[in-house]
Structure 1
Amino acid sequence: MGVHILSTGSSVPNFSVENKQFEDMIETSDYWILTRTGIKKRHLAPSSTSLTKLAAEAANNALSAANLKPTDINLIILATSTPDDLFGSASQLQAEIGATASVAFDITAACSGFIVALVTAAQFIQTGSYDNILVVGADTMSRWINWSDRTTCILFGDGAGAVVVGQSLKNSILGFKLCTDGQLNSHLQLMNTPKNNQKFGFIDIPHGNYNSITMNGKEVYKFAVFQVPMVIRQCLDNLNISIDEVDWFILHQANTRILEAIASRLSIPFSKMITNLEHYGNTSAASIPLALDEAIKSNKIKPGQTIVLSGFGAGLTWGAIVLKW
């Protein structure tokens, strides 16, 4: 059974913040942020906009593009690290869009989440378990930022991207490779730091409390620049596809310097990298489907082209998928 991406969709909050607006908050400048990250602005979700709402808008856009009704969807996979409910938000998304015939669950793999979710969806399609699957990558990272930490607060934005995946005689997903190294976990974390112990008999039970994002930028940079080119080459080598045969690369939109270094290590022109980082910042699990949707709508990606998607981030996790569009 082949797997085909039927459509794409995306959504970002209306409210956006440009670099210059940080100058009154922390010791930084528009020039410093732009030259070190490539980011010009990012979209932030106000309290009235939930993660579920952003995910639903992206999902409805993808469903409309596929000419499908919500009830045509058999499975919803929501890739997010920032659910509205700690138990998961996929079921809330199912209810929000009216996909009453679907099963729904979350996947948490941070900035690699969409890659993991799309690979998971492909397995369900190939085994014949489901016909139409909605895969959504969505995060509201702004809610987990320490706004006085100049190393992280400038990086992140909120958004959602979605794809509808269905059965096909031809397989659009040619191959994939997923990786994890938990020994590097401390380089990028959002830790549960329990506090206010509560007495239960003779035992102190800590009350759960999540802190803000912490990141060792230098180590994350070294990890991404070393591991991502390697996993992409391994994935292509397994398929006997050369780097030169790839038309477009859509990588997790973390930092322009990282993307430039990866392009250099792959010996490809940076013009083959599809990027939208300057407008959205790092939207975690949303970054790849958001960039994919924009590239489809602008007719940059055309039928028959070979596309490499690659995510990397907390865990530490990373992976790549090769598509024939």
Structure 2
Amino acid sequence: MTLRAVVRGVGHYLPERIVPNAEFEKTLDTSDEWIKSRSGIERRHFAAEDETTSDLATKAAQAALENAGLTADDIDAIVLATSTADLTFPSAATMVQNNLGMTKGFAFDVQAVCAGFVFALTNANALVVSGQAKRVLVIGSETFSRIMDWNDRSTCVLFGDGAGALILEAQDGTGTSEDRGVLATDLNSDGRYRDILYVDGGISQRTTGFLRMQGKEVFRHAVEKLAKTTQTTLDAVGITTDDVDWVVPHQANIRIIKGIAKKMDMPMERVVVTVQDHGNTSAASIPLAMSVAQAEGKMKPGDIVVTEAIGGGLAWGSAVIRW
């Protein structure tokens, strides 16, 4: 028998404040049409002043626990992907652990920017298949509104806040692609490209900084690298795009999403798209999209789901999951 990390439940949380594109017209030389045509984004959510990344993560976690029919006592570990943690330390994951009333097990953060959830999922999968944990709560949570330069129309209109969560549970499998659970993952990074997507501040520089991005360069790398990593995981499982029921990509830009779908020869009808409603929520975008898609009845047990993401670093990766 082979131990598999099977998806037991999903959940998400979005802050109450919805910010439509038109709101940016008041302060920037931009328009609803300009933003939509270049990104596909129509609106996004911003956290309230007193709402932190761990607050969002906790609510998404609670939703996932309810969806799975579990309690915090059933969880052995929390892996939280974020680039906007509440504090320098301790980790946002330990704050969620406390908020949930979870007094056993362990919790830690993973930082790979927009690719964070894929990195967190891969780590959580390893914990399960190695026997370190039976159930792992995997969370992506971000408050990117805190690191926006509101005078930079090329970036500040693209991002939003939110959180998504997924619970992986150890179950016996046969070791074949017919098993439910995480079937393959692929992680990559290349620090040579750090300057095309980064925040110009940090703890050792004694400043928070703002997000900076070379959009055209990010687009070029995204389509090429994400198509390649996806093919790598499909090959590892021994399946083709024809076997894939759903692609849940990082929700950064509709043009990137369509570009990758075209390279994969995947019809858009099988691609989960939520970017129009949430904007780019970085590490939260994939679990958030998964939770929304399942609520809409798009993903059912047994479906093959492929997910991929790229973020600052550059860091990128993908995973194949049988739902």
- Output the TM-score relative to the length of structure 2: 0.95
Question: What is the match of residue 104 of structure 1?
Answer: 107
Which of 170, 182, 186 matches 1:177?
186
Question: What is the match of residue 158 of structure 1?
Answer: 161
Q: Structure 1 residue 193: deviation in Å? A: 5.9
The answer to whether the 8 Å contact 1:94/1:102 transfers is no
The 5 Å alignment of 1:255-266 reads: 255-266=253-264
**Is structure 2 residue 291 aligned with structure 1 residue 323?**
no
Which of 43, 68, 71 matches 1:69?
71
Question: What is the match of residue 283 of structure 1?
Answer: 281
Q: Structure 1 residue 38: deviation in Å? A: 0.3
Q: Which amino acid aligns with 2:190?
A: D
4+ residue runs of structure 1 moved beyond 2 angstroms? 191-194
Aligned mates of 1:46, 1:148 — CA distance in 2? 20
- CA RMSD of superposed structures (Å): 1.2
Identical positions, percent: 39
Deviations 1:276-309 (A, max 9, x none): 0000000000000000001111111112111101
Question: What is the match of residue 301 of structure 2?
Answer: 303
Larger Rg over CA atoms: 1
The answer to whether the 8 Å contact 2:141/2:163 transfers is yes
Q: Which stretch has the larger CA shift, 164-173 or 112-121?
A: 164-173
- CA gap of 1:295–1:207, structure 2 versus 1, over 3 A, is closer
Q: Structure 1 residue 264: deviation in Å? A: 1.2
Describe the SS at the equivalent of 1:91.
helix
Deviations 1:124-157 (A, max 9, x none): 1111111111111000000000011000000000
Q: Which stretch has the larger CA shift, 98-107 or 284-293?
A: 98-107
Which of 179, 199, 217 matches 1:219?
217
Aligned mates of 1:133, 1:304 — CA distance in 2? 20
Q: Which amino acid aligns with 1:138?
A: S
Query: 5+ unaligned residues in a row in structure 2: which ranges?
Result: 174-178
Question: What is the match of residue 229 of structure 1?
Answer: 227
Aligned mates of 1:237, 1:74 — CA distance in 2? 31
Which of 28, 40, 43 matches 2:42?
40
Describe the SS at the equivalent of 1:23.
helix
The answer to whether the 8 Å contact 1:72/1:101 transfers is no
Question: What is the match of residue 250 of structure 1?
Answer: 248
Question: What is the match of residue 176 of structure 2?
Answer: none
Which of 130, 135, 141 matches 2:133?
130
Report how many aligned residue pairs link the two structures.
Answer: 314
Query: 5+ unaligned residues in a row in structure 1: which ranges?
Result: 195-205
Q: Which amino acid aligns with 1:134?
A: L
The answer to whether the 8 Å contact 2:227/2:264 transfers is yes
